[in-house]
Structure 1
Amino acid sequence: MEEKKYYSSRIIKSYVEYLKRFFPDIDVAPLLKHAGIETFQLDDEGHWMTQEESDRFHDMLVKATNDPDISRKVGRFSVTSRASGAVGQYILGFINPATAYGVIEKINGRLSRAATLKTRAIETDKIEAKVTLEPGVEEKPYQCNYRIGAMEALAKLSTNKLASIEHPVCVHKGGDCCLYVISWEKTPALMWKRIRNYASVVGLVLCILALNFIPSAYWDAMVLSYVILLTGLTLQSEHLEKKELLSTVNTQADAADRLLDQINSRYNEALLIQEIGQAASMGSEVDKILRHMMRSLIVRLDFDRGMIMLANEQKTLLIHSVSYGYNPKDETYLEKIIFHLDNPNSKGVAVEAFRKQKPVLVNDVSLIEKDMSPRTRDFIRDMGTQSFICVPIVHKGESMGILMVDNVQTKKPLGQTEINLLMGIAPQIGISIRNAVAYQKTRESEELYRTIFESTSTANIMIAEDSTILMANNNFARLCGYSKQELEGKMNWETFIHQDDLGKMKTYHKMRRQRHRTAPPSSYEFRAVNRKGDVLDLMMSAAMIPDKKESIISIVDLSGKKKLETQLMQS
């Protein structure tokens, strides 16, 4: 059973960002490898980690830094780190701590599925936060410390000082939840506003009281001083408020830009799904379907180039099928590329993805060149590829080919989101290929059957359950005197049967479709009437189409034979 994923990759990414800034000598790669975390997963804000992955990373981190309290420091750092992504931008958009702490319930759900967080206001500058673990979750103390650090840092965004946090109840000390009491200092703008308000009241009272005790000249000077002081305090508080507001506007602008990018990405992904659906219904030409899909894939998902390679019927070779975004020289080169699937020594990325039915992502080709086969290494170098994703095209457990995309010009990093999208699209490509091939085979079978149906020496028809003639060959048209256009889909088989034989023919027709215990004869004679009114003596053989309600009837004209027999008997 797969372990549940509780923690956003942004949490681990904040650790990595912290290490790069404060511990630049520590190599992060071994820490991630020990935890089973890929670097590209950290760049995907939609990727989640398991408890085990988080624990393994933290254990190695403490050993590398020799700092048991590092999680709390990273928590403080995470609020303003780039790793926080859209959530961090969202937090930075709030003017004061009270507003920021008021939405941490919502923010917690974006970062952790392991616990629910509820807040309750105690005073204007104090709240209570209660964290309750979900059933089955075994959170570790370092994760509690990370949470404390993050909640401390929220206040610093506005007050430039960490919040004060009391932690009277903790699950790691026998409590049924983690309870935090958070308090913070007022923002500078709010403090100056309060000083102004108090000064205005006190000054006004003093001016009124002094009116009866000091000369008017001194009183005028006192009032003037009061007005100047009040004006100065007002200007200072408004200056600080505007400064805080300007900072908020700037950060919200960044958040808006990122949100617009996300909206644009989701819109393109929706269009891609629509266009792939349209491509799947384009017809039976596999190359045409794949070209349409590949073009939509590259344009909608912001890749520079892409190609599809399909296995031959013997599953011994991977052969170039379609590509998009390459220059004519590279296209010519790709058309000649063949990867051997039947060679056990083949270790290329495309071959491995095909065999293991697992995606491969590489963001820096130079890091894996030593592990590549010479042929793959030469191929990637010739293409100028720096980063790429290769996913298998699988249908009903059978590998059919591979889909490969890369970036050369944009240098955009590839991540788990792109892998997930491509792994969702690849099976649709497989289904479309299978459907197109099946459709083509069906067409070929129909054409073969129609050729046999038309070329046989007997008169043949296909009739529906309601006796409508669905198909008729030329021999039947000549026999009954009607054209095929008049017959097919329009006329009823019973129209041609002689009245004396009609009852018998209807009974046989019904029994044959009901799979009656007493099956009707498969061959028998009957009489029919053609367009001219001539009575014909005919022999027919009938058979049902498997799993259908339609039947095939072959007819031989016995009229000449019957007439000859009558003449012989008379002579």
Structure 2
Amino acid sequence: MSSAIYNSRIIDYYVRLITSKYSYVNVSELLHHAGMKAYEVADQGHWFTQEQIDLFYEKLVQLTGNENIAREAGRYAASPAALGVMRQYALGLIGPANAFELINKATSNFTKSSNYESRKISSNKVEITVTPRIGIVEKPFQCKNRIGFFEALVVVFGFKLPHVQHPECIFNGGESCRYIVTWERSLSVYLRRVGIAVTIVFTFMSLFMAATGRWTVLEILLPLFVSLVCILAIVVAKIENSEMQASLDNTRESTEKLIEQIDNNYNNALMTNEIGQALSTCTNSEDILANVCQIMKKRLNYDRGLILIANSDRSKLVLHNGYGYSHDQLGLLDSVSFNLDSPNSKGIFTISFHEQKPFLINDLKEIEETLSPQSQSFVKRVGTQAFICCPIVCEGKSIGLLAVDNVKTKNPLVQSDISLLMGIASVIGISLRNADLIESKVRQFNSVLQVLSASIDARDSLTAGHSEKVTEYSIGICRELNLSTDECEKIRVAALLHDYGKIGVPDAILKKEGSLTPEEYDTVKAHAGKTREILARINFEGIYREVPDIAGSHHEKVDGSGYPQGLKGRDVPLGSKIIAVADYFEAVTAKRHYRAPMPLDEAFQLLRDECGKQFESRIVEAFLSYYSKAYQYVPPTRDEPAVFSVRGGTRVSSSVPVSFIVDGNSYDAVSRDLSMKGIFVASHEDVHEGTPIEICMTLPDNFQTVEARGRIAWVNRRQEIKKTTLPTGFGIELLEFKEKAERFMEEFISRCALEN
């Protein structure tokens, strides 16, 4: 592929000339023939190849019939509408001589095809030599265009059209193109020369009159000569000041535009930095998208933006986040289906997603003919005038779209906008992929933990669920103590695995119904040390590094009488002290082979009695506080026994990931509220009332799994909104829970209700 060596501004002033004098020419057709886009031409940082320039000019001559249009386009550069910043830059150089002196630097902003050298012959004459670089093959029309540009460079300063000689040309066998440009001198130069001539003449006349003694004549002429010289000096100074002021004005305008560009670059750099910093701390997909939209709104000069992500079966794009839209417009976006698998769907979003290429539309009229009546109605309702959409791609796979648009007239969107947004889209893609990987690893990690803990509990039906219950109590204590999230997570994992050392205890001892012998008791006690030994072989990192010590010390006592190491007081890890209380309470209140479950009031009293001996007082109090709130425990009275109940009818707001199966198809969604009778799920899937459904969700505080069967009771669609406070989705009536799921659900809802 040829190198891009010609700046878009060259084509831009061709296009401006066409619009001004050749309005019958279809610019879109001309650009398409040359493989150019309108937004590329508008972007002053874009460059084209020699082949594109050749195709453009060839078609332009064909459409206009003017073989000298190259020179005319070069002259058009003198127009205030033609060169923009470059025109101000040239005017800032005060005059043509200075402009030609810096011709090589100036032209480097337009072309990389040739080297320019200038030589000053006189104050109004320069010689310019243009030598094509190695490997570049220019065309004769480009030589004519240069002549027109040199003429424009003189005319732009208010001079008449200069005389350009072309004694040597590469297209006539020369090694380079040589031009001699001559222009009329400015009025200030003429007046300055007149002033000098008058002064010289007056000086000689004065000397002659003084030598011949004609003092009377000298006295009359002297004031006249002095007055004339002063008037000429004042006029020259005024003209020069006027030229200088014009130059300063243009320089100021150039500076303001440069500062504006610097400000844009600074904002873009800040945005890139802020996105990087924000995403480095995000491991959740929704948090990633929310942060990106917030930063784009703050840093980018677009009215609105949105992020669409493909659903699980990649059949349609779903709105996940955005900014700048009204509530009604968001509702409209939520209700519109951007289908990805329909053969009749030819929308730009669909094409961009499948072909993985961006689109920039500065005027929707450009594509109006390709839009369906439904799409045209949608565009009018959201009020879009110009927009850019970029595919979000990761590892060669499209996962969504990033789109921005303007509803008010602003500067045209250009290629650099696409480049910036494509960069953002790639960061989003990588971040979402990383988040998926992290979430997958977390799910795998938690699954392994569940399997490990269940493998011990499953050896005996009476101890099944023991580790999960101890984990729940431990997390409850952590929250009552206001421990950090990392500390809670560390203790959660240790609680799940605290009894793993029992894998080495024979079933005959674990399931023995009578009292244990001293030897058997020693075997059971060895499980704590075995737990530490086994878990130490697992490569726990980061916050999990202390898990083996915490899990292996849950039978230590604050008075030092515990095992296996006999740790005392502060030497016992905090997590171990917490698990010790949770483990003791769960053990005494559950049925075992050798005894019945202990009544709650007795168990609570035992905990209090062991404060300062086996347990730390503040941890026992934290557990009692948690338990009474979570399970609505009412202490016994004279007339009524203790009550252990859960408010099963309570409905709580909670976002929990939910997997559900409808008609044999599996989908992922998120709950919005929960109760024992039913849940509401936010989802864009097309479901119908009365349809049977199976759900599975993992509770966030203790990772217990709830599986249930039910039916779809009602549907909340944008076309038929039944509850405006809820998003698009549906309500599920829960009919049957599997295994222990009902108890898990009751406990979770009760805890959420308490926290709320």
Question: TM-score interval w.r.t. the shorter chain?
Answer: 0.7 to 0.9
C-alpha deviations, 1:382-407, integer Å up to 9, x for none? 10111111111111110010111100
Q: Residue 376 of structure 1 aligns to which amino acid in structure 2?
A: S
1:448 maps to what in 2? 447
Tell me: CA distance 1:247–1:174, structure 2 relative to 1, closer, same or farther (3 Å).
same
2:406 maps to what in 1? 407
Asked if residue 480 in structure 1 is aligned to residue 479 in structure 2, the reply is: no
Greater CA deviation, 277-286 or 104-113? 277-286
Task: Tell me, in whole angstroms, the C-alpha distance in 2 between the residues paired with 1:409 and 1:12.
Answer: 27
Task: Tell me, in whole angstroms, the C-alpha distance in 1 between the residues paired with 2:35 and 2:236.
Answer: 52
For the residue of structure 1 that corresponds to 2:23, the secondary structure is coil
For the residue of structure 1 that corresponds to 2:166, the secondary structure is strand
Task: Tell me, in whole angstroms, the C-alpha distance in 1 between the residues paired with 2:214 and 2:188.
Answer: 37
Question: Across the two proteins, how many residue pairs are aligned to each other?
Answer: 489
1:137 maps to what in 2? 136
Aligned-residue offset at 1:453: 4.0
Task: Tell me, in whole angstroms, the C-alpha distance in 1 between the residues paired with 2:369 and 2:158.
Answer: 52
1:223 maps to what in 2? 222
Greater CA deviation, 167-176 or 98-107? 167-176
Q: Residue 273 of structure 2 aligns to which amino acid in structure 1?
A: Q
For the residue of structure 2 that corresponds to 1:211, the secondary structure is helix
Task: Tell me, in whole angstroms, the C-alpha distance in 2 between the residues paired with 1:45 and 1:352.
Answer: 28
Tell me: CA distance 1:392–1:465, structure 2 relative to 1, closer, same or farther (3 Å).
closer
2:280 maps to what in 1? 281
Q: Residue 320 of structure 2 aligns to which amino acid in structure 1?
A: S
Aligned-residue offset at 1:159: 5.5
Tell me: CA distance 1:411–1:208, structure 2 relative to 1, closer, same or farther (3 Å).
same
Greater CA deviation, 65-74 or 204-213? 204-213
Q: Residue 369 of structure 1 aligns to which amino acid in structure 2?
A: E
Aligned-residue offset at 1:332: 2.3
C-alpha deviations, 1:109-158, integer Å up to 9, x for none? 11011112222333343333222222221111111111111112212233
Greater CA deviation, 470-479 or 244-253? 470-479
1:148 maps to what in 2? 147
2:126 maps to what in 1? 127
Aligned-residue offset at 1:48: 1.0
Aligned-residue offset at 1:368: 1.2
C-alpha deviations, 1:410-454, integer Å up to 9, x for none? 433211111111112111110111112222222232233333444
1:437 maps to what in 2? 436
Q: Is the 8 A contact 1:320 1:338 kept in 2?
A: no
For the residue of structure 1 that corresponds to 2:195, the secondary structure is helix
Quick one: which of 527, 536, 544 aligns to 1:463? 536
For the residue of structure 2 that corresponds to 1:129, the secondary structure is strand
1:202 maps to what in 2? 201
Aligned-residue offset at 1:470: 5.4
Aligned-residue offset at 1:483: 7.7
Tell me: CA distance 1:59–1:68, structure 2 relative to 1, closer, same or farther (3 Å).
same
C-alpha deviations, 1:528-554, integer Å up to 9, x for none? xxxxxxxxxxxxxxxxxxxxxxxxxxx
For the residue of structure 2 that corresponds to 1:388, the secondary structure is strand
Tell me: CA distance 1:258–1:483, structure 2 relative to 1, closer, same or farther (3 Å).
farther
1:117 maps to what in 2? 116
Q: Is the 8 A contact 1:89 1:255 kept in 2?
A: yes
Q: Residue 152 of structure 1 aligns to which amino acid in structure 2?
A: E
Tell me: CA distance 1:451–1:482, structure 2 relative to 1, closer, same or farther (3 Å).
farther
C-alpha deviations, 1:266-314, integer Å up to 9, x for none? 1111111011102211322212221221222233220000101000121
Q: Is the 8 A contact 2:91 2:157 kept in 1?
A: no
Hey, which bits of structure 1, 4+ residues long, moved more than 6 A?
A: 464-469, 482-488
Task: Tell me, in whole angstroms, the C-alpha distance in 2 between the residues paired with 1:48 and 1:352.
Answer: 26
Q: Residue 246 of structure 1 aligns to which amino acid in structure 2?
A: Q
Task: Tell me, in whole angstroms, the C-alpha distance in 2 between the residues paired with 1:402 and 1:218.
Answer: 92
Tell me: CA distance 1:416–1:83, structure 2 relative to 1, closer, same or farther (3 Å).
farther
Asked if residue 91 in structure 1 is aligned to residue 90 in structure 2, the reply is: yes
Asked if residue 366 in structure 1 is aligned to residue 439 in structure 2, the reply is: no
Aligned-residue offset at 1:334: 2.0
Aligned-residue offset at 1:331: 1.8
Aligned-residue offset at 1:210: 1.4
Task: Tell me, in whole angstroms, the C-alpha distance in 1 between the residues paired with 2:540 and 2:395.
Answer: 40
Give the fraction of aligned pairs with identical amino acids, expressed as a percent. 33
Aligned-residue offset at 1:214: 5.7
For the residue of structure 2 that corresponds to 1:111, the secondary structure is coil
Q: Residue 147 of structure 1 aligns to which amino acid in structure 2?
A: R
Task: Tell me, in whole angstroms, the C-alpha distance in 1 between the residues paired with 2:82 and 2:353.
Answer: 34
Task: Tell me, in whole angstroms, the C-alpha distance in 1 between the residues paired with 2:79 and 2:572.
Answer: 79
Asked if residue 397 in structure 1 is aligned to residue 470 in structure 2, the reply is: no
Task: Tell me, in whole angstroms, the C-alpha distance in 2 between the residues paired with 1:313 and 1:249.
Answer: 61
Asked if residue 107 in structure 1 is aligned to residue 106 in structure 2, the reply is: yes
2:490 maps to what in 1? none
Q: Residue 423 of structure 1 aligns to which amino acid in structure 2?
A: M
C-alpha deviations, 1:161-216, integer Å up to 9, x for none? 23332222222122222222333332221221122122212212211221233643
C-alpha deviations, 1:61-90, integer Å up to 9, x for none? 212222211111211111444342322210
Aligned-residue offset at 1:456: 4.3
2:347 maps to what in 1? 348
Q: Is the 8 A contact 1:96 1:187 kept in 2?
A: no
Aligned-residue offset at 1:247: 1.7
Q: Residue 277 of structure 1 aligns to which amino acid in structure 2?
A: G
Task: Tell me, in whole angstroms, the C-alpha distance in 2 between the residues paired with 1:412 and 1:230.
Answer: 52
Q: Residue 95 of structure 2 aligns to which amino acid in structure 1?
A: N
Q: Residue 361 of structure 1 aligns to which amino acid in structure 2?
A: L
Task: Tell me, in whole angstroms, the C-alpha distance in 1 between the residues paired with 2:312 and 2:287.
Answer: 19
Task: Tell me, in whole angstroms, the C-alpha distance in 2 between the residues paired with 1:37 and 1:132.
Answer: 27
Q: Is the 8 A contact 2:118 2:126 kept in 1?
A: yes
1:165 maps to what in 2? 164
For the residue of structure 1 that corresponds to 2:161, the secondary structure is coil
Aligned-residue offset at 1:371: 0.4
Q: Is the 8 A contact 2:385 2:408 kept in 1?
A: no
Tell me: CA distance 1:104–1:464, structure 2 relative to 1, closer, same or farther (3 Å).
farther
1:333 maps to what in 2? 332
Task: Tell me, in whole angstroms, the C-alpha distance in 1 between the residues paired with 2:92 and 2:564.
Answer: 85
Q: Is the 8 A contact 2:76 2:82 kept in 1?
A: no
Q: Residue 381 of structure 1 aligns to which amino acid in structure 2?
A: K
Task: Tell me, in whole angstroms, the C-alpha distance in 1 between the residues paired with 2:109 and 2:288.
Answer: 39
Greater CA deviation, 449-458 or 9-18? 449-458
2:235 maps to what in 1? 236
Greater CA deviation, 472-481 or 357-366? 472-481
Task: Tell me, in whole angstroms, the C-alpha distance in 1 between the residues paired with 2:16 and 2:572.
Answer: 78
2:38 maps to what in 1? 39
Task: Tell me, in whole angstroms, the C-alpha distance in 1 between the residues paired with 2:565 and 2:373.
Answer: 73
Q: Is the 8 A contact 1:5 1:50 kept in 2?
A: yes
Aligned-residue offset at 1:380: 1.3
Task: Tell me, in whole angstroms, the C-alpha distance in 1 between the residues paired with 2:443 and 2:84.
Answer: 55
1:69 maps to what in 2? 68
Task: Tell me, in whole angstroms, the C-alpha distance in 1 between the residues paired with 2:538 and 2:129.
Answer: 71
Q: Residue 443 of structure 2 aligns to which amino acid in structure 1?
A: E
Q: Is the 8 A contact 1:349 1:376 kept in 2?
A: no
For the residue of structure 2 that corresponds to 1:358, the secondary structure is coil
Q: Residue 187 of structure 1 aligns to which amino acid in structure 2?
A: S
2:382 maps to what in 1? 383
For the residue of structure 2 that corresponds to 1:84, the secondary structure is coil
Task: Tell me, in whole angstroms, the C-alpha distance in 2 between the residues paired with 1:280 and 1:106.
Answer: 42
C-alpha deviations, 1:453-508, integer Å up to 9, x for none? 445434143336999975427467557347899699xxxxxxxxxxxxxxxxxxxx
Q: Is the 8 A contact 1:320 1:336 kept in 2?
A: no
Q: Is the 8 A contact 1:71 1:143 kept in 2?
A: yes
Question: What does 1:45-60 correspond to in 2, within 5 Å?
Answer: 45-60=44-59
Structure 2, unpaired ranges of 5+: 457-499, 502-530, 556-562, 574-756
Question: What does 1:482-521 correspond to in 2, within 5 Å?
Answer: none
Q: Residue 324 of structure 2 aligns to which amino acid in structure 1?
A: G
Q: Is the 8 A contact 2:360 2:389 kept in 1?
A: yes
Tell me: CA distance 1:482–1:5, structure 2 relative to 1, closer, same or farther (3 Å).
farther
TM, length-normalised to structure 2? 0.61
Greater CA deviation, 45-54 or 73-82? 73-82
